[in-house]
Amino acid sequence: MKGSLIIVGAFALGCAAGVLGLLPDWLLGGDVTMWVLYALMLQVGIGIGCDERLKEILRSLSPRLLLIPCATILGTLVATFAISFLLSRWSTAEVLAVGSGMGYYSLSSILVTTLKEPSIGAVAAAELGTIALIANIFRETMTLLLAPLMVRWFSPLAPICAGGATTMDVTLPIITHTSGRDWVFVSILHGVVVDFSVPFLVPLFCSL
């Protein structure tokens, strides 16, 4: 929760600085944004590759366990596709790009903003990126708050699927507490696979 508030605060500070004209012109160029995006993608790759848990997961990987993150990704896309028909402001592909963030708000919001700017303009791209930020923060927050009810009403897998990419880090403690320690490995594997899908799915739908 604290991390989410820091992200939102940094975003609000950036918006205020832009509105007040406090940023230098060179910082507003598209090249700078792209290099920041490249650096973030590099950091994501390094973080996943250096995680010792990843080696353990790969050594004991079971094809059956992969069904869980695949179900989460498919379910998210199906639900997002259905919701897109209720939104006239954005196309189905744009709504799917937002949903493909899978709870990874910091990466998905930057990807959406940067990749959609050439096709819909800076203002609309920033608006869609903001929606991606808020929607994916909301997914993480709801998992943190409702995990006990999800386990009680559905199953120990419910908060894992709801958490999306966050189940390998932010929501792992609450999942461990509510679903039980037997689900820790599944939660981490789920988070790694779903997390890995974001850099592929978001650009895919942004290009449509």
- In this predicted model, what pLDDT tens digit does every residue of 113-168 receive, in sequence order? 889 988 998 889 989 999 999 999 889 888 988 888 999 999 999 999 999 998 88
Query: Residue 174 — very low, low, confident or very high, per pLDDT cuts 50/70/90?
Result: confident
Greater pLDDT, 71 or 48 = 71
pLDDT of residue 55: 65
> What secondary structure letter does DSSP report for 118?
H
Nearest-CA neighbor of 40 among 103, 104, 134, 90? 104
Query: Over 80: is that where the pLDDT of 83 sits?
Result: yes
pLDDT of residue 13: 75
Instruction: Give pLDDT tens digits for 23-45.
Output: 666 555 556 666 665 666 566 56
What integer best gives the mean pLDDT of the chain? 82
Q: Which amino acid is it at 34? A: M
> What secondary structure letter does DSSP report for 191?
H
pLDDT of residue 64: 80
Nearest-CA neighbor of 120 among 90, 96, 92, 154? 90
Query: Rounded to 5 degrees, what angle do the CA atoms 41, 132, 205 make?
Result: 70
Two tokens at 164?
């999306």
3-state secondary structure 26-95: HHHCHHHHHHHHHHHHHHHHHHHHHCHHHHHHHHCCCCCCCHHHHHHHHHHHHHHHHHHCCCCCCCHHHH
pLDDT of residue 172: 83
Two tokens at 196?
């890995």
The pTM assigned to this predicted structure is: 0.75
What is the C-alpha separation between 191 and 159, in angstroms, rounded?
Answer: 12
pLDDT of residue 47: 64
CB-based burial label for 99 (10 Å; 0-12, 13-18, 19+):
buried
24: Cβ contacts below 8 Å, ≥ 6 apart: none
